[in-house]
Amino acid sequence: MNLLELLGYFNYWVFAIVLTVGLYTVIAKINLVKKLIGLSIFQSAVFLMYITMDKVEGGTAPIIQKGMENQVFSNPLPQVLILTAIVVGVSTLALGLAIVVRIFEAYGTIEEDEILDAD
């Protein structure tokens, strides 16, 4: 496989790297907010993957208008899916932050090790 072919998968490489960065952050950080940031990065990588795969060479946004019926469109389905997934991701993040707030109220800290020590 030569360099060009590798570069042809550029988006997927980015997907893999962003995914790993996110996962690493979730695992390695002990600050709960940083963990949530990691989680968001991790999810964003998946959005990128879906958006990449729906791209059709030379395709345009899949909006049917008069006079454009024969145009090549990108696949609309993954875009719709990822809109849903983004909503899910945002809700998860919101809930996660809400829990962090409550943890701060209950424990006075958002560092994982200090929370473990408190109980």
Partner 1 sequence: MDLTPHLPVLQVVVPLLSSPLLLLLRPRGLAWAGAAAVALLSFAIALNMALAVAAGIQFSYAVGGWEPPYGIALSVDAFSALILLIVTGAGAIAILAGKPSVDREIDAERQPLFYSAWILAMAGLTGIALSADAFNIFVFMEISSLASYVLIAGGPDRRALPAVFKYLIMGTIGATFYLIGVGLVYMMTGTLNLADMEARIGGVTDINPLLVAAGFITIGLALKAAVFPLHVWLPNAYTHAPHMITVFLAACATKVAIYVLLRFDFFVFQANLDRHDVQFSLFLMPLALLGILVASAVAMFEGHIKRLLAMSSVAQIGYIMLGASFITEAGLTASALHMFNHALAKGGLFLAIAGLACHYGDLRLARLAGAARSMPWTAAALVVCGFSLVGIPGTAGFVSKWLLLDAALDEGRFAAVLVGVILVSSLMALAYVWRIVETLYFKPAAQDVATPTGEAPLPLLLAAWLAAIANIGFGLFPQFPLELCSAAAELLLGHTL
What is the binding site for partner 1 (CB under 8 A)? 19, 23, 26, 32, 35, 39, 42-43, 46, 49-50, 53, 77-78, 81, 84-85, 88, 91-92, 95-96, 99-100, 102-103, 106-107, 112, 115-116, 119
Q: Which is nearer to partner 1, 17 or 106 (CB)?
A: 106
Identify the CA nearest to 35 among candidates 119, 83, 103. 103
Q: Least separation, in Å, of the C-beta of 67 and partner 1?
A: 26
**How far is residue 13's CA from residue 30's CA, in Å, rounded to a whole number?**
27
Query: Which residue lies nearer to partner 1 by CB, 1 or 66?
Result: 1
95 Cβ partners below 8 Å, 6+ apart?
none
- In whole angstroms, the minimum distance from the beta carbon of 84 to partner 1 comes to 6
> Could you tell me the smallest distance in angstroms from the CB atom of residue 87 to partner 1?
9
Of 3 and 27, nearer to partner 1 (C-beta) is 27
d(C-alpha 50, C-alpha 36), whole Å: 22
Select from 13, 33, 27 the least CA-distant residue to 96. Answer: 33
Is the Cβ of residue 14 or residue 23 nearer to partner 1 in the bound state?
A: 23
Residues 54/79, Cβ–Cβ less than 8 Å:
yes
Q: Among candidates 101, 88, 79, which has minimal Cα distance to 39? A: 88
Closest approach of partner 1 to the CB of residue 77, in Å? 8
